[in-house]
Amino acid sequence: MKLVENKLLRDKLHVFEDRKEAGKLLASELKDYKDTDAIVLAIPSGGVPVAAEIVNALNLSFDLLTVRKIQIPFNPEAGFGAVGPDGEPIFNETVLNGLMLSEGDIKEQVKKALESVRKRNELFRGNRPLPLLIDRVVIIVDDGLASGFTMLAGINYVKRQRPEEIVVAVPTASERAVLFLLPHVDKLICLNIRGGPFFAVADAYRNWYDLSEEEVMEILRQLSFL
């Protein structure tokens, strides 16, 4: 496992203009993979504009890695697990044990997460088959990591496909997420690592907003993915 960071950006806020600039800066850290068989997997929605810059700069294959958190019923902004594109759930046992949810509640929330993955795959991928990843370098891209738990669902899915190497590349992440994910990948590239008790991905960007589905689809069209 190897960590690559920009120490000049450690614990700094608003270091990127937007996701496009962050993607270009990440591409410079990934230049060794240019014109290779490596594939970039973007986590929608926020990871798509970041990944697009990497793909265009390095002439790499592209696809999507649809993962969704399993929401807490009474606090949908938070989650107690995540599901990957093949529907395999993982649970944050520490959080789950403190929620006192019934087995029915858990199954219902997993079902909702799976349905969200299905709808996103239909919308953004047209339900095309997932790419073959065996013996390939796989670069998983998102716009940032808060807890890292949803990313872990994506990493676990990729691992089951027996790749040659797994690289996670993100512009920003909490120090907790970096330490949590590092043992699970071959390389983690994060330009802006921040410690402290509070973390928001948005705080790394001067221009931040949630992408609409149409904006994501337009980027995918520009990549000739749709």
Neighbour tally for 132: CB within 10 Å: 11
In tens, the pLDDT along 148-183 reads 999 999 999 999 999 999 999 999 999 999 999 999
The per-residue pLDDT for range 39-57, each reduced to its tens digit, is 999 999 999 999 999 999 9
d(CA 68, CA 65): 10
Mean pLDDT score, 204-210? 97
